[in-house]
Amino acid sequence: MLTLRGLTKRYGGKTVVDDLTLEVAPGKVTGFLGPNGAGKSTTMRMAVGLDRPTSGTALVRGTPYAELAHPLRVAGALLDARAAHPRRTAHQHLLAMARSNGIPTRRVPEVLGAVGLSDVAGRRAGSFSLGMAQRLGIAAALLGDPEVLLLDEPVNGLDPDGVLWVRTFLRSLAAEGRTVFLSSHLMSEMQLTADRLVVIGRGRLLADGPVTDVVAAGTRRSVRVRGPRNGGLAVLADRLVREGTEVARPAPDELSVTGVPLERVGDLAHEEHVHLYELRAEEASLEEAYMRLTSRSVEYGQAPRTGAEAGV
């Protein structure tokens, strides 16, 4: 269990994390989302004692990380894939961590095998690709066989096979009853991996709940309609608009209908004798929900282009 209570971090006059309160429960993969500068990495750093909160507390299994007798046996973290000394081999890096934390050295080959790095255990970490460095960072987080895992962008730099491996591996760890707290900017991957989502913006909590609930709350369900270009769709669109429904026409043979069930669209098409090729409910996406939730919390948004830049 990871517990944050009123967690706040200020640097001078800038508040990076603002009164953040949440519990990350075991047995689930909890996704941690937010724009650049939202405070995700700072929150994770405070959780493992690397940054001191201005106020509030971060507790790992009910205890501040710095007060844990054997911290790596309780919580493992991947916050920087390039944290290993570049001149140490992967084996040496993990061996030093094991010896300094009272962890049996047999865990070193075990975790190297678990992340697929056994064959390169003797290579220096500085020669690793970003994807290999990510795997080494995950191995370090697993070294103490911890109950809690905090992983900041663990799939960054991984190929598709690596991304699939991380997804499957993290879900298996959660299924063992561990607490898995995961940040990522890959919305589609987070939708597949996480059971629960925490979304922050400018350091404040914006959403916290099961993935399906967060997606549903942040999206507007729409219905896609396709039919012949013979005027029938215009008749259907006119009928829908008269009923107060929002209708867009992205193509001459297509309607996008928002705010009404698919069944109602089908009934109206039947009443108006409109022939259809397709009637389909659009899948709600985490990306759309995320963009809506964080639209007012983006700190490093793109400035509007001038007329010259836009080619006007």
8-state DSSP, 275: -
For 30, 120, 126, 279, the CA distances from 147, given in Å and listed in that order, are 14, 27, 29, 47
Residues 246-299 have pLDDT tens digits of 899 989 899 999 878 899 999 999 999 999 999 998 777 788 888 888 877 766
Q: Using alpha carbons only, how large is the chain's radius of gyration in Å? A: 24
Ordered by where they begin, the domains of the chain are 2-210 (3.40.50.300), 220-283 (3.30.70.790)
Residues 108-147 have pLDDT tens digits of 999 999 999 999 999 999 999 999 999 999 999 999 999 9
CA atoms of 272 and 36, how far apart (whole Å): 49
For 62, 65, 81, 165, the CA distances from 59, given in Å and listed in that order, are 5, 7, 24, 29
Residues 159-213 have pLDDT tens digits of 888 899 999 999 999 999 999 999 988 888 898 999 999 999 999 999 999 988 8
Helix 107-114 and helix 90-100, axial crossing angle in degrees, nearest 10: 130
